[in-house]
Amino acid sequence: MDTEGNILMEKYELGRLLGQGTFAKVYYARNMSTGQSVAIKVIDKDKASRTGLLNQIKREISIMKLVRHPNIIHLHEVMATKSKIYFALEYAKGGELFAKVAKGRLKEQTAHKYFHQLISAVDFCHSRGVYHRDLKPENILLDENENLKVSDFGLSALAESKRQDGLLHTTCGTPAYVAPEVITMNGYDGDKADVWSCGVILFVLLAGYLPFQDSNLFEMYRKIGKSEFKFPHWFQPDVRKLLLRILDPNPVSRITMPKIKENSWFRKGKLSKEPSLDRSSGPSTTSTDHAENQDSMKPPNMNAFDIISLSPGFDLTALFLDPREKKEARFTIWQPASVILSKLEDLGKRLRMKVSKREAGLLKLEAIEEGRKGILSIDAEIFELTQSFHLVEVKKCNGDTLEYQNVIEHLRPGLQDIAWDEQIQREHQEVLPRQDK
- Summarize the annotated binding site for ATP as residue ranges: 41
User: Which contacts of 31-36 are long-range, i.e. CB under 8 A and separated by 24 or more positions?
Assistant: 32/7
Rounded (10°) angle between helices 108-127 and 190-207: 170
328/287 Cα distance (integer angstroms): 38
293/313 Cα distance (integer angstroms): 38
123/126 Cα distance (integer angstroms): 5
Query: Helix/strand/coil (H, E, C) string of 196-260?
Result: HHHHHHHHHHHHCCCCCCCCCHHHHHHHHHHCCCCCCCCCCHHHHHHHHHHCCCCCCCCCCHHHH
Pairing of strands 390-398, 148-150: unpaired
CB-based contact 119:158 (threshold 8 Å): no
Percent helix, strand, coil in the chain (nearest 5)?
40, 20, 40
Element (DSSP H or E) covering residue 293? helix 285-297
308/157 Cα distance (integer angstroms): 28
CB-based contact 384:300 (threshold 8 Å): yes
DSSP conformational letter for 94: T
Q: How far, in whole angstroms, is CA 428 from its chain's centroid?
A: 27
> Which segments are annotated as binding site?
41
DSSP symbols for 344-364: HHHHHHHTTEEEEEEETTEEE
1/41 Cα distance (integer angstroms): 11
- Indicate which residue of 2, 46, 123, 134 is catalytic: 134
400 as an active site residue: the answer is: no
So which residues are the catalytic ones?
A: 134
